[in-house]
Amino acid sequence: MWTVWTVWMVWMVCLVPTTSEALCTEDDGYKVRLSIKTALGGDAYEWNESEMFFFKATLAFAMRTYSGGEQYDVSNILVCDETLRVSFVFVVTKPSNTSELVPRTEVENAIKKSRHRINSAFLLTDQTLDFVGINPTLAAPIQYDTPPWLIAFGVVMGLVCAGIVALLVSTFLNKKRSKKSADEEEAGRGNGILCESIRGKDGLFNQGLVDDDRLTKL
């Protein structure tokens, strides 16, 4: 009787892990790869049992958040195929029945929902904490009320238009002013006497200079 019980116990002890190993396959779960040294360089932490426990706890948290309070626990996350790469496969069992697995799609949605929290927990990013088969949701593009380029364009356009208007107005005013002063000279004010006296000759051309090009400074 005692030996039968011992044999049965030994058999159970051997079977349970085998059962859980049988549950943990990549087809039913997801493969995870962590690139800690790539992400953190010198500040990288060692991957050990405690970190694995933390990871299981994070996944359980993700499942709880997604399912709206179902009591997922660390023991519901089964991990296998651990490698030196720091990659492993995990499956999630239902809290009500530990031999039944949660469907892959549910796990995927749960992870997608809490992806940012999971990443932050491990100081990693979407690229360095890789769930093989779960594509990261890309950041939404920033929406602007007014595209910033239009604002820059408006500023420059305004300045240029102001400059053109200023130049044209100043030219126009100068012309009016010179026309007014020309009118005044005709009336004989200012040094109009000098103008009138040489008006009859060839304009203002000084005949004494043979080649005025050399001496005329423009």
Partner 1 sequence: MEKESRPSWDNPMQFVLACVSYAVGLGNVWRFPYLCQMHGGGGFMIPYLIMLFVEGIPLFYMELAIGQKMRLGSIGAWSAISPYLGGLGIASVVTSLYLCLYYNVINAWSFWYLFHSFQAVLPWSDCPVNSNRTAYLEECEVATPTQYFFFRETLNISSSIDENGGVHMGLALCLLLAWLIVYLFIVKGVKSTGKVVYFTATFPYVVLIIYLIRGVTLHGALNGVKYMFTPKMEQLANPQTWINAATQIFFSLGLGFGSLIAFASYNHHNNNFENQAITVSLINSGTSIFASIVTFSIYGFKATFNYESCLERMRLLLMNTFELAEDTVHIDNISFWITDLNRTQPEQIAAIASRIETCSLEAELDTAVEGTGLAFIVYSEAIKNMPAAQLWSVLYFFMLLLLGMGSMLGNVTAIITPLRDFKVLAHSLSNETLNGLVCLFCLLLGFGFTTRSGNYWFTMFNEYGATFSLLFIVLLEIVTVSYIYGLKRFEKDIEDMLGRRPNWYWKIMWVAVSPLLLISLFVFYILNYIQGGAPTYQAWDKDVVREELTQIRLGLRSDSEISCVNLCAYSHIEMTVTRKRGAIPFGLRL
Which residues of this protein are in contact with partner 1, per CB under 8 A?
33, 35-38, 83-87, 135, 137-142, 148-153, 156-157, 160-161, 163-164, 167-168, 171, 202-203, 205, 213-214, 216-218
Q: Which of 157, 134, 173 is nearest to 29 (CA)?
A: 134
Q: How far is the CB of 172 from partner 1 (least distance, A)?
A: 9
**87-92 and 129-132 strand pairing:** unpaired
Beta strands in the chain (DSSP E): 30-34, 77-80, 87-92, 129-132
Provide the minimum distance between the beta carbon of 136 and partner 1 in the complex, in angstroms, as a whole number: 9
Q: Which is nearer to partner 1, 33 or 94 (CB)?
A: 33
Strands annotated E in 112-154: 129-132
Q: Which is nearer to partner 1, 38 or 75 (CB)?
A: 38
Residue closest to 90 by CA, chosen among 162, 8, 21: 21
Q: Output 96 or 105, the one with its CB closest to partner 1.
A: 105
Residue with smaller CB distance to partner 1, 96 or 135: 135
What SS3 class is residue 1? coil
Residue 63: CB minimum distance to partner 1, A:
22
